[in-house]
Amino acid sequence: ENPEKLSLINLASLIEASQRSGVTELDLQGKLLDQMEWLPVSLGKLSNLVTLNLAENRIMVLPSTVGELKSLVKLDLHSNQLMNLPDSFGDLSSLVELDLHGNLLKYLPNAFRNLSSLTNLDLSTNQLSTLPETFGNLTRLRRLNIETNEFEELPHWIGLCSSLTELRADFNQLKALPEAIGKLETLEILTLHYNRIKRLPTTMASLVNLKELDVSFNELESLPESLCLVTSLVKLNIAKNFADLRSLPRSIGNLELLEELDISDNQIRVLPDSFGLLTKLRVLRADETPLELPPREIATLGAQ
Phi, psi values for residue 300, rounded to 5°: -75, -30
Positive or negative torsion for Cα 89, 100, 73, 132: negative
Residue 291's pLDDT is: 86
Query: 91: which residues sit within 8 A by CB, 6+ positions away?
Result: 67, 68, 70, 111, 114
CATH architecture of 1-81: Alpha-Beta Horseshoe (3.80)
Residue 242's pLDDT is: 79
Mean pLDDT by 10 residues, the chain (304 residues): 83 96 97 93 97 98 97 98 97 98 97 95 98 92 99 95 98 98 98 97 98 97 96 98 89 98 93 95 92 61 49
Residue 73's pLDDT is: 99
Residue 198's pLDDT is: 95
pTM to 2 decimal places: 0.94
Residue 203's pLDDT is: 98
Across the chain, how many H-helices and E-strands are there? 2, 12
Give 46: exposed, middle or buried? Use CB within 10 Å, 0-12, 13-18, 19+: buried
Query: 181: which residues sit within 8 A by CB, 6+ positions away?
Result: 154, 158, 159, 190, 201, 203, 204, 207
Nearest-CA neighbor of 231 among 214, 249, 255?
255
Residue 289's pLDDT is: 87
Strand partners of residue 27: 53
> CATH assignment of 92-301?
3.80.10.10
Per domain, the residue ranges of the chain are 1-81, 92-301
